[in-house]
Structure 1
Amino acid sequence: MFAKINGIDLFFDVVGSGLSVQEKSLESKPVLLVHHGGPGADHSHYRPWLDALQDTVQIVYFDHRGTGRSGHADVSTYTLEQMANDVEALRLYLGIEAPILLGASFGGMVALQYAVRYPDSLSKLILADAAPSNTFATSIERVAEVASAEQMEMLTARFSGTSTPEQDARYLEVVGPLYYRTLPPLAEREAEHARIRGAYEVAEHVMKNELPSYDVRAQLGAIHIPTLVVAGRYDWVTPPSQSEEIVKGIPHAELHIFENSGHNPLVEETEEFLQTIARFI
């Protein structure tokens, strides 16, 4: 399905009903908006794992502008501010009052931008393996001792926004294993990668032009809604220290660390991840 907003066709998909059946009534479930990571990936990374929450919430997945099944736009519009505005436009388009927003990795950065721009539009905020500023970019130094020469070459190019299309096409295959503490079976990873519709030009633009100036630390205090921050203990991309900084800045924020995960606790510790999110909701 598509929402025609802000000059693009934004793809979204809904999992689960909006009403739960009680003995003598139908009760509304909370709505969970899910902003995927990347930049340049799509929402498929969270499925089917996150679908299991559909008994607790109605889930609305979407692909941010220029990625997945969403329409492309001028590259200059691939900004965190515009993506945050797209989330608000999608919320209004769907008529959702006070949803819960889950932003993971890069999606967590957009979610933070959204929460400080639209503080009254959300009921709760969930941030998974996110960062409040561009200081996370030094994380590439932490992985150098375990990464191969080819992996380091690709990581350096990705973080600087200079990846070639060829490198981008092989990024998950070559560098993907570094994002886990316990590597899933090859067949499972290949199936997941095959589902993703990546967008090289979005990743390049955001990494080169957006993330170098990204910093919402001074604005975190404006986020007044209940906030859950989760991270994998072995995440080198956006390490737990980044999540700790978010929690220090947001009133009423709580932190949960997944002790046996890297950058993908939803995949590595699925049951604990789902239980943690469900309890918070």
Structure 2
Amino acid sequence: MQIEVNGTRLWFDVDGPGVVPHGSRTRERPTVILVHGGPGGFDHSYFKPHFARLTGESQVVYLDVRNHGRSARHDPADWSFEVCADDVRAFCDALGIVRPVVLGHSMGGFIVMLYGARHPGHAGAMVLQSTMARFDLGRLVEGFRAVAGDEVAEFARRDYGGDPVTEEQSAAVFAAFGPAVPTTQQRARTIRNPGLGTRGAELLRRLDVVDQLARISCPTLACAGDRDPVTSVAAAREIVDALPPGIGRLQVIEGAGHFPWLDRPDRYWPLISAFITRVRT
């Protein structure tokens, strides 16, 4: 499905009902909006079929952010995390989604943090999954060194630092993202936008939204795998420490990397489901 909002056209898909029978009445269920990673190399597809697990207690909305997947593309020079954050607000308002639980993974976490900071009071809750509020190349490189050794750490330094790497070196970096990563077949389903890569990488290297997190007003779960070299536990802790007192919670999943639902589904799904149920009841 597609909808025109905020000067763009966004594609989305839905799993599960928003209203269910409940005795002699009906009951509204929470809506979880999933915001994917990137930039340019991912769309909503890597969330499927895994996040259908959440339909037991919520309606799940898969969103392709602008310039990604099946959503409309614009001049890369006009693309930013901020405009995508405003798109999330406009998307919800256009569809009448009230107090959503918005889950942002990796780059999607940047967008969701900015959405929460720029539109406080709009979300019912947020999940910041495997993300960071501030780019720190040194921290990232040491994360790769810890899980994959010196050679891959050097590839990561060059890749994330803006120096050229080969396809083989880039693949070695991605393979170190965690014990399990999306397969070649799963990644082949992605509708990519290579033209956004340079712009997205520049914005990533300038990322620092720590000071804006104090404006977020909803319950927020920052979740990280202890084997994630990209968005470490320290990065998640930095997010929680910058949130207003009492609204942030840090959850570390042992044995998990950047895609914890692949590594530790036994731990991940009960955690996320419990958070959604608690904040929306």
TM-score above 0.5, yes or no: yes
Q: Is the 8 A contact 1:147 1:178 kept in 2?
A: no
Task: Give the distance between the partners of 2:220 and 2:227, measured in 1 at CA.
Answer: 22
Shift of residue 179, structure 1, vs aligned partner? 0.9
Name which of 193, 199, 209 aligns with 1:205: 199
Q: Is the 8 A contact 1:158 1:204 kept in 2?
A: no
CA deviations over 1:99-136 (Å, ceiling 9, x no partner): 11101111111111111000021110111111111226
Query: Which residue is 1:254 aligned to?
Result: 249
Query: Which residue is 1:30 aligned to?
Result: 30
Query: Which residue is 1:180 aligned to?
Result: 178
Query: Which residue is 1:278 aligned to?
Result: 273
Shift of residue 148, structure 1, vs aligned partner? 7.8
Query: Which residue is 2:48 aligned to?
Result: 47
Shift of residue 211, structure 1, vs aligned partner? 2.0
Query: Which residue is 1:14 aligned to?
Result: 14
Shift of residue 267, structure 1, vs aligned partner? 1.1
CA deviations over 1:36-89 (Å, ceiling 9, x no partner): 011221111111111110121111111111111111101112201111111111
Q: Is the 8 A contact 2:14 2:60 kept in 1?
A: yes
Aligned to 2:176, what secondary structure does the other structure show?
helix
Query: Which residue is 1:216 aligned to?
Result: 209
CA deviations over 1:12-42 (Å, ceiling 9, x no partner): 1111111122222220001111110112211
Q: Is the 8 A contact 1:232 1:265 kept in 2?
A: yes
Task: Give the distance between the partners of 1:117 and 1:189, measured in 2 at CA.
Answer: 35
Tell me the number of residue pairs that the alignment of Structure 1 and Structure 2 aligns.
272
Are 1:266 and 2:264 an aligned pair? no
Q: Is the 8 A contact 1:161 1:206 kept in 2?
A: no
CA deviations over 1:241-261 (Å, ceiling 9, x no partner): 011111112132111111010
Shift of residue 213, structure 1, vs aligned partner? 2.4
Aligned to 1:91, what secondary structure does the other structure show?
helix
Residue range with higher mean Cα deviation, 192-201 or 29-38: 192-201
Query: Which residue is 1:105 aligned to?
Result: 106
Residue range with higher mean Cα deviation, 128-137 or 259-268: 128-137
Q: Is the 8 A contact 1:100 1:123 kept in 2?
A: yes
Task: Give the distance between the partners of 1:237 and 1:16, measured in 2 at CA.
Answer: 32
| Structure 1 length-normalised TM | 0.88
Aligned to 1:134, what secondary structure does the other structure show?
coil
Shift of residue 143, structure 1, vs aligned partner? 1.6
Query: Which residue is 1:240 aligned to?
Result: 233
Task: Give the distance between the partners of 2:198 and 2:273, measured in 1 at CA.
Answer: 35
Q: What residue ranges of structure 2 are gaps of 5+ in the alignment?
A: 277-281
Query: Which residue is 1:229 aligned to?
Result: 222
Aligned to 1:9, what secondary structure does the other structure show?
strand
Task: Give the distance between the partners of 1:160 and 1:214, measured in 2 at CA.
Answer: 13
Aligned to 1:175, what secondary structure does the other structure show?
helix
Q: Is the 8 A contact 1:31 1:100 kept in 2?
A: yes
Q: What residue ranges of structure 1 are gaps of 5+ in the alignment?
A: none
- CA 1:203–1:171: 2 relative to 1, 3 Å: farther
Query: Which residue is 1:193 aligned to?
Result: 187
